[in-house]
Amino acid sequence: MQVYGNVTGTMAREVTDGAGRAAQSPGDQVLGRDAFLKLLVAQLKNQDPLNPVNNQQFVAQLAQLQSLEELRSLGEAVSVMANLVLAGQAGGLLGRTVRALTPQGEVRGRVESLRLEGGRILLATDSCEVDLRDVVEVHA
């Protein structure tokens, strides 16, 4: 019998947990696209007509908006890729026995199916359903 330790790996957990914490922590929130546009429009409306924003500053602000859009798009792509990697790992668990440490305690069971719910991959075993991130051992 082969035993594999920590199926999901540390890196996958850090990506998932890190993304979750960043989205929930009010102190870490960044200026979003809509807020940035509102701020830019308000600045243009309220500028001094005798001393307007020079072209270089305006172009720099537009470049920042473009960078913000590209970073948002990149973040979404990385999130999708991380989910695909985890889904690939989870597919290899079908028919195998897993041991997971859940908040309710230790669970052991044979993986019968998988499902994706809210960005999480859940493994349906013959005993219950567990989150892929909680799996610590896989038995062939």
Q: Which residues pair with 87 in a beta bridge?
A: none
**What radius of gyration, in Å, describes the C-alpha atoms of the chain?**
23
Give the pLDDT of residue 30.
Answer: 58
Give the pLDDT of residue 43.
Answer: 79
Going along the chain from its start, the domains and CATH numbers come out as 3-11+73-139 (2.30.30)
Give the CA count within 13 Å in the CB-facing half-sphere of 139.
8
pLDDT higher than threshold 80 for residue 29: no
Model pLDDT for residues 41-96, shown as the tens digit of each residue: 887 788 777 777 777 877 887 788 788 889 889 998 998 888 888 888 888 899 99
Mean pLDDT of 23-27: 43
